[in-house]
Structure 1
Amino acid sequence: MADEDSPLSTFVQSIRRDLNCVSDMDRNVRRNSLQRLHKRLTQKQTLPPTPVLQEAWDNDILPILVKSVSDNAESCRELAVQLLVFGIQNSIVVEQTMALCLSPLIERIGNLPMKEDSEEVRLLLIQLVKSLVLSCSLEMLSTNLEPIVQILKSSLADQYHEIKKEACDVIHSVIGRTKNFTQQSLESLLKASIPNLKHPHSKVRLATLQGINMIMKCNVPADTVSALLIPVTEALVFDHSERVRKYFLESVAEWICCGFEESNDNDDHVNLSIFRTKLSHLLPLLICGIFDASKEIGSTALALAENIGHVYTTCATNRRHNSGTADDAADNEMEYHLLLPSPFKERPGRTCCIMVQDFLEELIPHIKNSLQEWAETTKLYGARLLLAVLVFAEQQIAPYLHSIIPTLCSAVGDNNVCIAKLIVASSHILGWQTSPSSWMSQIVGQVSSSNASSVQVANGLVIMSGLLYGTKKHTGNDGLAKEVLKALINLNLQFNSHASVHNQTLAILQNLLKVFGANYSTCSSDILFILVQIQCFGSNLSQKQAVADIEKALADVMGFTSVRSLYESQAELLLGMIIADHETWSTHVHGQALFHAFLQKISNLAGPYLERLLPVLKGCVQPERDPSLRLKLLQILDELFEIEELAVWWYSLASTVLGQIILPCGVWRVGKIGAAIRHAAMVAFGTFLRMNLCSQHDLETHLLSDQVLPVVLSCLEEDYYVDVRIVTCHVLQELLRISGNSLTDKQRGDVQKALQKRLDDSSDGVRLRILPAISLFFRTMPSSYSDASIRSFAANILVHMDDSNVEIRESVFKALQVCTSLRPAILEDLIKSKRDQHEKTEYCDRLLDQAASLQIMEATNA
């Protein structure tokens, strides 16, 4: 027993009353007592020497405070814990404190649900645990690891974020002092920590990572890491906090190397095996971080990967020595640097390449599975990982193309633009790392599959374009080029209305030019054929520009001074390709559209090939062929007639064109379709005559054989479409202009009847357009034409000079002026007899004056 006058006795007596009151029934008394104790114990100038305080603490103060930890009043519990923390921080030996405190700590916060309901007190309690951990002896700590682990597990599950952070700090402190944990304890701590990696507070996630980092330093088995940690840490690669992402990548690097650097010669083999196992699980996380959104983090991840690669290759003494790193020429090396994505500024180090290449067999399936998941972050993880692996794998990736190509084709269509961009970048790198012959057949098979939709085809074309973009210049051969072009020709016919297919086709053609260079010349006709395909199905402004660029580049490669010269050199071959299947053309087969686009492209260069086109045109306008096709071909024919430079070529073919193509289409057939065909035929016939593509001799030959007039006159009788009558008026006008004076009397009589009938047409449009033909009829009539016929025709026309339509009155007047100039006496006599029947006599008087003047002139000349 201490002497009553000793410092210990004196000190204890000074606080005895407060110590006794801590057990009072009244909470206020207990609280006040604890407050006084707190004040007394925290005033260092009034405290006894440390040995005295230590003895008083262990024997008198500590038991009472430990009991108060379970007080019913929150304020009392809070004060008691604060005093305990203070006592630990000011004690020489805390073994007694730890022995007494662990039990109430476990009771209050060691089990879920926690008995302690105050967040503030729980925070103080976990801080108390931290103080105990830092202050106790190593032996005492090792003895009490299990209860501490139990408390930490519960605290990590606490809803209060500050408690979670404090618990992680305690883990850091404990493991910083001892690593003598059982595997079960480590696994339980790891399980308790992992949910906090998804906590909304970035500071909690960072603290959790720091705690897990310490746990991993205890050599957690690789299987445990794979089963528990890897599935949840993938998301940390995309954490919103840059601090978290950077620390995570640094932690992954530490986890990989943890324990390996400390190995000795006797256990090198065992540790290398563990090292490889860790790498297989953790390496994907690290190299995925290379393409972090932050350039700084990406550079950090790359540097960490390079360092680990150095460690790996230094220790893996049985590693093969061929890394697969290409030894390219300087110009190719520069080209590759342009392809490399940031943060790569040059080829990756050889050691890191070796490391990644050793794990390709595990990495490729992992990437494929990630890209097939529905979660966006998982797919983004897979896309980043794929790009990183391809950069490091170099030529060693070739054996895995059968798996990578379909994966690329599938993933490039993702709705997430970031994923799609990463996949395209991957195709660029893959194109560089491998030769076209190693993947060409496979990618062509992907896009040529009969079951592929337009979207799948477009995706495959994106990858094909990317592979070609990355391929080294001038490394292809014409056999591979023809394989690609054959597939593109079929695709653009099959998916003619899909702009995405056309866009990617153009990109492929541009990249093919780069890859195959001069070898491309043997495929020029196929390329031009594809360009015509794209244009015939409609193209926007950007597509037109792309087509023009490709044409110019191809012309340069082949040594032509212009695109026109290029097409001129290939026109015959292209024409053969386009018309090869003309017998199968229909509405649903787009050969005629291709034919049209080609003719528009070569335009005035088509002359030498017109004779070759005639059988195609003739065959396609036959009555048994598709009506839409017949209309389209007649439209094409009309457009060709309009090209002035082709006139000399048409001149020699006029008889065939007229007799075998145009006139048969003008023959009357029942129905709307027949009327539409007749209209198209008359439009083409009118252009044919207007452009003077037929000699007078050829036309007269057909007139004499009655091949022309019956068709034209029947079209003037068209009942269904007034437009047919209108365009036929123009045809008849041109016929009279060219061969009007060569008509027989019978033909002229038939024409006169038709003209007279059209002047009585129900459509003013027809009446107006027939009057120029009437003028030509009078102008071309022979002098032997009977006066009776002229008088009868003029009398019927004269009636319309009083028409309500001013244009018709003017046109009738002009026609009668022509007649008057040729037969003034007949017209003078006729007009005088009819003048009084006209409401307006102005035109009659002008014609009479003309007739009188002409007769005076005739008399004078006579």
Structure 2
Amino acid sequence: MDSVEVKEILLHKHCNALQSTNKRQRKNALETIKKELIDNSSDENTILQHYKTVQKYLIRCIRDDSESCREYAVSLITQVIEQVPMDDGILGFIFPELRERMGGIEIKEPSEEVRLLIVILLHRIVLKYGSILVHYLDDYIEILKKTIIDPYPKVKKESCECAADLSKAIPQHFHMQSESLIKPILLVMYHQHYRIRVAAIKSLGDIICNGNNKSVSDVTTALAERLFDQNPIVRKTVAEVVGMWLIKLYDRYSYWHKLIPLMLTSLCDEIHSQAEEAWKLWEIAGSQWVTENENDIKDKLDFLPEEVSWYPNGVRRPNIGCRELVQREMSKYLPAIVNELTDWKVDIKVKSAQLLCTTIQHAEQKITQHISKILPAMYKAFCDEDKRVVENIQKSAELIGYFVLPEVYCGQILPAIEDGANYGNLGVLACAIKYSPKGTTTPKIKEIANIIDRGEICYTNKVKEQEQLLNLISGLLRNCPKEWCNTVLQQLFNVLVYIQGITGNEDIKKDAKGILEKLYENGGLNNVEELHKQCTRHLLQQIQTSVFHWTLYSPQLHVFKFILAELEYGVVASLDIILIILKSAMEEGIDPEVVLKILWAIFDILQNDKLISILDDKKYFFEVLLTEVLIKQLVWKAGRSAEALRTASAACLSQGLYNMMKFSSNKISSDMLNLFLPHLLSLVEDSVIKTRLYSLESLQMLIRGAKYGNILSEEHVNTLIPVVLKRLDDVSDVVRLASLKIIRVVYKEPTAVCGDHIVGLLHNTLLIHMDDTNEEIRNTVLDTLKDVGKANPEELLNKITVDSFREEDVSNKLIKYLKSEISNKTSS
């Protein structure tokens, strides 16, 4: 008996042991069979011969009650399959058992480890037997449908890999049943472990490529969702699969519109190396398409250069095949991009914005025919809260500026701005204008300037809209020749001044001022002051028409205040209009709050030394301002609003008289004296301390100017002094001191003439206040009495004795001074 026969007998003996009720004996029998079958045999044909002897027993062990026996049996069969030559006969025993165990309505194998070993066995069979497995395709499909969605992650992964290799092994037959595996794999693509997701995506790629291509339509949505995956390996795998389909998919021409958006999205991956890999795959697909369609695009290949001088700096130009593919297919997927740009999910909006940008990059001039569809969505997306969305929409708008004629995109954007300007449409237009080839926007510059100069657009107080208006003007200045810029100088000046006047943002104000300084250069002027002189007048004429309708929130009011405060040369060149506006603003019926704002603006003007110094006719300006503007608010009226206006007017009058004295040889005309004196004498008794103080200061300037002009009469003094003396009893020490200053001005050289009763009233009243508790007031009264006593020291001395006052020192000083004055008069 030879050794083969002996081994056959031994194997039968061990196979009989597999029938034992003791699981330990069964396990030992399996170990012994493995030893005899594999470990003690080196010839693969011998192993195959002995395996056929024991295979039905081993296969029966797959359903053993003991998990360890089932596990050992499956492992042993796997080892045999890997080592023996291919033999279709042994598969006929294996598959019925595996299908019953794993491919039924319910999986009978409870152990995760055994299920994994069974799938590994099936995978090894695929790798070894390949095309021979046609007859077992149904078994594979039924088993894989279950194992792909197995709860155990390793089983899922192995099943996906097995399905992929099965599709490669028998592609001619696999395509008939490939659709059965699509739904299970799609479920696995959402697994929490990224390695499982990667395996599912790779499997899907091979199954569809080697199976029924119609499944592309079923999986593109799921693949698109995986492009949002947080794991970069998953996104990279999607790009690789889509790139492979673009090159190898048999029916790829029917699915360009589904695959191209996935590929273009991968080009924008946040990891640069992965984006570069995607670009390589995409350009290979484009080059292959050119090779396959060379006759159709022969003219373009012959006459269109790959590099063009006008192409945007820093933007990668795809090859002609990639461009042609996008240009032919974009009409099919652009509507989806438009819808998703305003999706409620942030990630979707970001990817859609990226895809739009890349599509425009590929479409180049051909995007023109779709511009009307994408622009409305771009306006909304431009206003998105997510910066990534906005950045990509900005890039898209810039590319539109490069590739689309201004006549076309302006024809779409400008009507939208006219219907309702907002941050979105202004921003899109600004980006497009800024990056249009130099000089191309010249035909549209007048229309653009006229539109943004409209009140409903440039009156905005929204910072973002102001920012985009500035960007738009900056783009126009950059793009248009100087000779054309001069034609819209006024409109651009208006918008820039409006923004500076209305905005509360210092950065915006600073940027607007910077652009204004560039504007004069583009307009062919020598300096910014010349620009102010040339353009301010027309702007003020626009403002003038609305004065009677101003409220506290009217933009014209704020702009008018800005002009008065900042544009000195413009004010000087338009002084007549400004005075007309100021007069109109003081009329009855104007909102008191508006009047108050203007009065304080006037006060700022009067303190602006630079403005006053460059005025051509200072006297005219001050006289009109004081006599025709401020006078209207000095009349007493009841109410708190009128009270505030009187205070502001009195402050302006005080500053105005000060400036008038300073720049008009310290003289006041008789008409002005007669005009203001009654009003001021009334205001010094106002209930508001500040009003009384400003009025006294004005009165002091008025008297000083009248004395210099030699027009202060006895009648004026007789009227003035009693009123001023009453203020010595004021509750405010500041007001009392101001009153004393007026008396000193009246009686300083040249001394004013007054009636005897006024002199007596002065002496008596001032002597009373010599005993004031406030030392500063006592000393000021003393100095005032000295000035007053010069005219008639004897009379005043007769009213004083040493013990007339509590402070003997004060009495002595005054008596000594008066005696000195009398002595001087006698000697002279």
Under TM normalisation by the shorter chain, which class is it? Answer: over 0.9
SS at match of 1:254: helix
2:423 alignment partner in structure 1: 458
2:693 alignment partner in structure 1: 726
Unaligned 5+ residue runs, structure 2?
none
Q: Does 2:27 align with 1:31?
A: yes
Structure 1: distance between partners of 2:623 and 2:464: 46
Confirm or deny: 8 A CA contact 1:655 1:694 kept in the other structure. no
Confirm or deny: 8 A CA contact 1:169 1:211 kept in the other structure. yes
2:390 alignment partner in structure 1: 420
Structure 1: distance between partners of 2:35 and 2:453: 89
SS at match of 2:480: helix
Q: Does 2:236 align with 1:249?
A: no
Structure 2: distance between partners of 1:240 and 1:204: 14
Structure 2: distance between partners of 1:369 and 1:622: 55
Q: Does 2:359 align with 1:389?
A: yes
Q: Does 2:328 align with 1:358?
A: yes
- Equivalent AA in structure 1 for residue 240 of structure 2: E
Q: 2:313 aligns with which of 301, 319, 338?
A: 338
User: Aligned runs of 1:474-553 on 2, under 5 Å?
Assistant: 474-477=439-442, 479-487=444-452, 489-491=454-456, 493-496=458-461, 498-518=462-482, 519-553=484-518
2:183 alignment partner in structure 1: 191
The alpha-carbon deviation at position 7 of structure 1 amounts to: 3.6
Q: Does 2:52 align with 1:58?
A: yes
1:10 alignment partner in structure 2: 6
Confirm or deny: 8 A CA contact 2:453 2:492 kept in the other structure. no
- Equivalent AA in structure 1 for residue 683 of structure 2: C
2:823 alignment partner in structure 1: 856
Distance 1:193 1:20, change over 3 A: same
2:169 alignment partner in structure 1: 177
Q: 2:679 aligns with which of 694, 706, 711?
A: 711
**Residues 654-682 of structure 1: CA deviation (Å, up to 9, x unaligned):** 44333322212101111111111111111
SS at match of 2:197: helix
The alpha-carbon deviation at position 317 of structure 1 amounts to: 6.4
1:676 alignment partner in structure 2: 644
Confirm or deny: 8 A CA contact 1:579 1:595 kept in the other structure. no
Q: Does 2:524 align with 1:559?
A: yes
1:431 alignment partner in structure 2: 401
Structure 2: distance between partners of 1:600 and 1:702: 27
2:89 alignment partner in structure 1: 96
SS at match of 2:107: coil
Distance 1:114 1:417, change over 3 A: farther
Structure 1: distance between partners of 2:314 and 2:43: 73
- For these two proteins, the number of residue pairs brought into alignment is 820
Distance 1:328 1:554, change over 3 A: farther
**Residues 767-808 of structure 1: CA deviation (Å, up to 9, x unaligned):** 122221121122267564234421321221222222222222
The alpha-carbon deviation at position 285 of structure 1 amounts to: 0.8
- Equivalent AA in structure 2 for residue 125 of structure 1: I
User: Aligned runs of 1:116-155 on 2, under 5 Å?
Assistant: 116-136=109-129, 138-139=131-132, 141-155=133-147
User: Aligned runs of 1:778-857 on 2, under 5 Å?
Assistant: 778-779=747-748, 782=751, 784-832=753-801, 835-857=802-824
Distance 1:329 1:279, change over 3 A: closer
Confirm or deny: 8 A CA contact 2:269 2:275 kept in the other structure. yes
Confirm or deny: 8 A CA contact 1:95 1:137 kept in the other structure. no
Distance 1:674 1:558, change over 3 A: same
1:309 alignment partner in structure 2: 286
Q: Does 2:657 align with 1:666?
A: no
Structure 1: distance between partners of 2:466 and 2:43: 91
- Equivalent AA in structure 1 for residue 241 of structure 2: S
SS at match of 2:81: helix
Structure 2: distance between partners of 1:178 and 1:42: 30
Confirm or deny: 8 A CA contact 2:145 2:181 kept in the other structure. yes
Distance 1:431 1:130, change over 3 A: same
User: Aligned runs of 1:757-772 on 2, under 5 Å?
Assistant: 757-772=726-741
**Residues 434-475 of structure 1: CA deviation (Å, up to 9, x unaligned):** 12221124223333434x7xxxx1122221221112211122
Q: 1:76 aligns with which of 53, 61, 69?
A: 69
Distance 1:338 1:53, change over 3 A: closer
The alpha-carbon deviation at position 369 of structure 1 amounts to: 2.3
Structure 2: distance between partners of 1:841 and 1:329: 107
Confirm or deny: 8 A CA contact 1:68 1:80 kept in the other structure. yes
SS at match of 2:587: coil
Structure 1: distance between partners of 2:190 and 2:453: 48
The alpha-carbon deviation at position 88 of structure 1 amounts to: 1.4
The alpha-carbon deviation at position 494 of structure 1 amounts to: 4.2
**Residues 714-759 of structure 1: CA deviation (Å, up to 9, x unaligned):** 111212x222111111111111111145334333222111111111
The alpha-carbon deviation at position 77 of structure 1 amounts to: 0.8
User: Aligned runs of 1:586-601 on 2, under 5 Å?
Assistant: 586-601=551-566
Structure 2: distance between partners of 1:324 and 1:551: 48
2:79 alignment partner in structure 1: 86
Distance 1:481 1:120, change over 3 A: farther
The alpha-carbon deviation at position 279 of structure 1 amounts to: 0.7
- Equivalent AA in structure 2 for residue 709 of structure 1: L
Q: Does 2:216 align with 1:225?
A: yes
How well do the aligned residues superpose, as a CA RMSD in angstroms? 2.7
SS at match of 1:337: coil
Structure 2: distance between partners of 1:670 and 1:164: 89
- Equivalent AA in structure 2 for residue 792 of structure 1: L
Structure 2: distance between partners of 1:17 and 1:128: 26
Structure 1: distance between partners of 2:42 and 2:793: 152
Distance 1:596 1:128, change over 3 A: same
User: Aligned runs of 1:606-617 on 2, under 5 Å?
Assistant: 606-617=571-582
The alpha-carbon deviation at position 385 of structure 1 amounts to: 1.3
Q: What is the identity percentage for the equivalent residue pairs of Structure 1 and Structure 2? A: 23
Structure 2: distance between partners of 1:714 and 1:462: 57
SS at match of 1:762: coil
The alpha-carbon deviation at position 173 of structure 1 amounts to: 2.4
- Equivalent AA in structure 2 for residue 846 of structure 1: K
- Equivalent AA in structure 2 for residue 381 of structure 1: K
Moved more, 129-138 or 510-519: 129-138
TM-score, with structure 2 as normaliser: 0.93
Confirm or deny: 8 A CA contact 1:7 1:48 kept in the other structure. no
1:271 alignment partner in structure 2: none
Confirm or deny: 8 A CA contact 1:390 1:430 kept in the other structure. yes
Q: Does 2:654 align with 1:686?
A: yes
The alpha-carbon deviation at position 8 of structure 1 amounts to: 3.6
Q: Does 2:23 align with 1:22?
A: no
The alpha-carbon deviation at position 430 of structure 1 amounts to: 0.8
Confirm or deny: 8 A CA contact 1:794 1:827 kept in the other structure. yes
Q: 1:470 aligns with which of 431, 435, 448?
A: 435
Distance 1:847 1:520, change over 3 A: same
- Equivalent AA in structure 2 for residue 385 of structure 1: L
SS at match of 1:24: coil
Confirm or deny: 8 A CA contact 2:163 2:203 kept in the other structure. yes
- Equivalent AA in structure 2 for residue 120 of structure 1: E
The alpha-carbon deviation at position 96 of structure 1 amounts to: 3.2
TM-score, with structure 1 as normaliser: 0.90
Unaligned 5+ residue runs, structure 1?
261-273
Distance 1:116 1:814, change over 3 A: farther
